[in-house]
Amino acid sequence: MLSNVLEPDSIAVIGASSNREKWGYRILDNIISGGYLREVYPVNPNEDEVLGMRCYPSVLDLPHRVDLGIIAVPAGSVPTVLEECGRIGVRGVVIVSAGFSEVGNSELENRVRDIARDYKMRMIGPNTFGFINTHLHLNASIIPQMPEKGGISFVTQSGTFGLALVDWAASQQMGLHLVVGVGNKADVDDSDILAYLSADRHTKTIMMYIEGIERGRRFIDVASRIRKPVLALKAGRSRAGSKAALSHTGSLAGTDRIYDGAFKQAGVIRAGTLEELFDSALALALSISPPAGSGIGIISNGGGASILAADLCEDLGLHLPDLSDDTVRMLKDVLPVIATPANPLDTAGDGSYEMFKDVTEIILSDRSINALLVIYVHAEMVDPCLPAEAVIDARRGCDKPVITSWIGGKSIGAAVKRLEENRIPNYPLPERAVVALNNLVRYKRILQKR
Amino acid sequence: MKILTEHESKKLLAKYGIPVTREAVARSREDALSLACEIGFPVAMKISSPDIAHKNAAGCVLLDVGKQDVDASFETIVANAKKHAPDARIDGVLVQEMVPRGTEIVIGIKCDSQFGHAVMFGLGGVFVEVLDDVTFRIVPLTKLDAIEMTEEIKGRSILAGCDVGAIVSTILKVSEMAAKEMIFELDINPLIACEMGVVAVDARAIFKG
């Protein structure tokens, strides 16, 4: 059961250390400073006390059986420590230690995996940064920061890059539930985590950073049954197939293309860039429901930005429907004479509360519009908070996704904060908003297929 | 690695219900003439050898061959094959019906180390690698997967006049074949699609071991 690992009632940190340079110190320190309220025991035969807590020479000496063992000892000592965990009935382990298949030592990794299986312990790693469960206030990782609580769960293949991504996500005020570094995936792999997240009540959106998938067909089978959005960024996009191939198919079959097909079958939304991964996860996590169709409405107080957005919509295959006669009539009543009641809609420079509230409400009421992008281009005369409040108010009671792009510098900071507080996904550039919107529509199509 | 000849590859396709050209391997000039008469003129004639992958480039494919040209064509094809690849094993000359013009499609199989068998679909013909307009799915495919493949290639509008239902059904038969056979790589190129139906005009299957 992965829940024993990811939602433990008690933890032993094996290799806990007073030396601030060591992972065994950082993990224990993170667990304590993260505010984990359940039992934690440091284990290390060379220490009496770590971070003011009594340290036990071995897990065999612990006063109680623990759910989770976090192992941060040198690779060569892992088998012994793992045996001991097995003997006292530890239910799962996270092996932070490095020095296994990633440096060519597959033999040691297989040995460790076999021990874990013999004792029926699930094992994450080796060579992982650990994991974070924000809802348990548990930072069982070497990541120095606890992210905001939220509905996005992030699964990433280990390595410095994965670590930096998590740190970045945390600084983005992106609400996260679970962050897991899968490491070398000797036992628990991406599919296992996906299956767990599928049933996890806190997880609303799943975000993955993948370097490689080993049991490909199983990944497709698991992912295609999940009724939550799954976004993935796959590193290594080389299109080249094998030059030595004996057929056209062989030479055209680059790894990237195979992954492309597999992700489509799995119903996984493939992001092309990190920016797309994070932006889209935000939009998917904050939207109450995906758009009912691909009809997009665009509102802006400045023509240029909305035309850029409309162009990109067309490139991505999003539809900008004509507005209904009723909508046009209502718009004519509120718009300045020089403005045209059309989609995309340009308010001819009017960024007032009343204008933004009226046009947002009217366009949202049009039946052919399934999602709305509101762009505000900052002009010095207007308080950018006013149109933001207008969108917040106009959207109330409507379940069509509304996303925004407030364009400007420091002076729009307070407005952006208001949008964030009201769970409206906001992007500093309209193109980024459109890419995120497109992935909302892609998710809707995936749901329709199931 | 075991490479099947075009004729052997098509026998395998036929076993899975994929339409193939009417054809037979002629061991001699006389043989070729009687086969051609049975098939009906004009015919296509190609070298039958597991060792010559690019028959066209080797001058080993002659199309629209009439009755009076069968003898000479047989000699030319065998001579070109020997010039191109002196050590190639030659089974004979494949005599094949000429298929009316249509849209050239490629359907293939590739065995991937992570995902197992994958099926490829795209625009085919001699420029398949230049066009580079193909898409993949992992075996087994659903009907929806196959339909999506025909809708997502860049050149999808070229398929407008074709029997897309027959293309989809062929993709699914290839998926079934991939699941059952120890295929390492397969090309059906071209599969010619017209208003009614499809037919595999050339194919090459490679087996493991």
Statement to judge: residues A271 and A415 lie in one domain: no
Alpha-carbon span A428 to A420, nearest angstrom: 12
Q: What b/e sequence results for A375-393 when a residue is b if at least 16 CB atoms lie within 10 Å of its CB, and e otherwise?
A: bbbbeeebbbbbbbbbbbe
Our CA angle for A98, A211, A144, nearest 5°, is 50
Statement to judge: residues A362 and A403 lie in one domain: yes
Q: What's the confidence (pLDDT) of residue B126?
A: 87
Q: A424: which residues sit within 8 A by CB, 6+ positions away?
A: A286, A391, A392, A395, A402, A403, A404
ipTM: 0.91
Q: What b/e sequence results for A146-158 when a residue is b if at least 16 CB atoms lie within 10 Å of its CB, and e otherwise?
A: bbeebbbbbbbbb
Domain B22-97 has CATH 3.10.150.10: no
Which chain B residues are within 8 Å of A251, Cβ to Cβ? 129
CATH code where residue A360 lies: 3.40.50.261
Q: What's the confidence (pLDDT) of residue A240?
A: 64
The encoded tokens of residue B152 equal: 């997502």
Statement to judge: residues A243 and A297 lie in one domain: no
Q: What's the confidence (pLDDT) of residue A242?
A: 63
Q: Decide: A281 and A205 in contact? Cβ < 8 Å.
A: yes
pLDDT at B149 > cutoff 70: yes
Q: What's the confidence (pLDDT) of residue A235?
A: 81
Alpha-carbon span A241 to A367, nearest angstrom: 46
Q: Residue B149: closest CA among chain A residues belongs to which residue?
A: A261
Q: How many domains does chain A have?
A: 3
Single pTM value for the model: 0.92
Which chain A residues are within 8 Å of B108, Cβ to Cβ? 247-250, 252-253
Amino acid letter, residue B155: G
Q: Decide: B179 and B142 in contact? Cβ < 8 Å.
A: no
The answer to whether position A371 is within a domain reads: yes
CATH numeric code, B103-207: 3.30.470.20
Among B180, B171, B170, CA closest to B116: B180
Q: Residue A216: closest CA among chain B residues belongs to which residue?
A: B115
Consecutive 10-residue runs of chain A (450 residues): their mean pLDDT?
A: 95 97 96 96 97 97 96 97 97 96 95 98 96 96 90 85 74 84 95 97 95 92 96 79 73 87 97 92 91 96 91 95 97 94 94 97 97 94 94 95 95 94 94 97 93
Statement to judge: residues A254 and A378 lie in one domain: no
Looking at CA atoms only, how far is residue A280 from chain B in angstroms? 22
Chosen for mutation from A247, A442, A448 (greatest number of chain B CBs closer than 10 Å) is A247
Q: A73: which residues sit within 8 A by CB, 6+ positions away?
A: A14, A15, A24, A81, A97
The answer to whether position A139 is within a domain reads: no
Say how many Å lie between the first and final Cα of chain B, rounded.
5
The answer to whether the CB atoms of A258 and B204 lie below 8 A apart is no
Looking at CA atoms only, how far is residue B54 from chain A in angstroms? 10
Alpha-carbon span A433 to A444, nearest angstrom: 17
Alpha-carbon span A115 to A119, nearest angstrom: 6
Q: B76: which residues sit within 8 A by CB, 6+ positions away?
A: B59, B62
Statement to judge: residues A200 and A322 lie in one domain: no
Statement to judge: residues A301 and A443 lie in one domain: yes
Q: B100: which residues sit within 8 A by CB, 6+ positions away?
A: B192, B194
The answer to whether position A141 is within a domain reads: no
Statement to judge: residues A419 and A293 lie in one domain: yes
Q: Residue A448: closest CA among chain B residues belongs to which residue?
A: B144
Q: How many CB atoms lie within 10 A of CB A21?
A: 8
From the number of C-beta atoms within 10 Å of its C-beta (0-12, 13-18, 19+), residue B64 rates as exposed
Q: A34 is in which domain, residue-wise?
A: 1-129
Our CA angle for A402, A406, A408, nearest 5°, is 175
The answer to whether position A300 is within a domain reads: yes
